[in-house]
Each structure stands twice: as structure tokens, then as C-alpha cells.
Amino acid sequence: MKRLGSRKVKVIIAAAVVVVAAGVLLWLGIGRGAVYYYSVSELKAQSSARNVRVSGELVAGSFVRTGNTHITFQIHDRDKTSDSLAVVYDGALPDTFKEAANAEVVVEGDRLTDGTFEARTFIAKCPSKYEAAP
């Protein structure tokens, strides 16, 4: 059996360290960047939640704007319209948002212990006009 030279051993060890370090950084980056989308019913099953995203449809007539940026509204699941979640948002709305019943939205923030969802981010899902024609 042939012995590896000390230089080759050092190169192999250095390469292994680089590969392991890159793997650890990739794992940490993916873990922190991934955020699960909850449905309204999934989120309501929890007493409180921090830094989560909730996807739902706007409840008709629930959208109330106070001042320029303070907004309250309710969202519900597409299939379960009887169960809604009250949302409070302070900020600018995206241009793609249309204040219409069943407009799809995603909010990111915290569910407070009183059941209200305090959103820090408001994302309007693209309307169906952007879908391909049949």
C-alpha cells in the first residue's frame, strides 16, 4: 500500500473542512429562511404563535382603514368560510391588492393571546388575470 504524502493529507483535510463548513452554512441559511404558511384554521388551533405566515381570503365587508396606514380586516380559509381570523396591519398596501371579497392575502406576524393577528408584512396574491388563458 502506498502512503500519502503529508502535503496530500493536508489538502484532503482542508477540502473536508471547507465542505463541512459550506454544508453547515447552507443548512443554517435554509432553516432560517423557510417559513411555513398556516391556514386560518391551523393557526387558530394554537393559543399564540410568533413570526408565522397565514394565508387566507378577505372576508367581505371586513376591511376598515383608519388613517393612512392602520388597517383591520378578517381572513378565512377558502374551504371554511365560517371560521375567520381578525388581522391588524400598520403599513402600506401593495399595488396588486384589490379590496374585494375573497381576495387572497398572506400576512406575516404574530398571533396574540387575545386571538388577534398582528401583521408586520402584507402580501397580496396575484389575481387570476395573471394566469394563463385556457
**What per-residue string of b and e applies to 27-38 under the rule 16 or more CB within 10 Å gives b?**
eeeeeeeeeeeb
Fold topology of 37-129: OB fold (Dihydrolipoamide Acetyltransferase, E2P) (2.40.50)
Q: How far is CA 28 from CA 25, 31, 51, in A?
A: 5, 5, 17
What share of the chain in percent tops pLDDT 70? 87
How large is the average pLDDT for residues 92-107? Answer: 85
Chain segment 14-41, per-residue pLDDT in tens? 999 999 999 888 887 776 666 678 899 9
Q: What is the pLDDT of residue 83?
A: 85
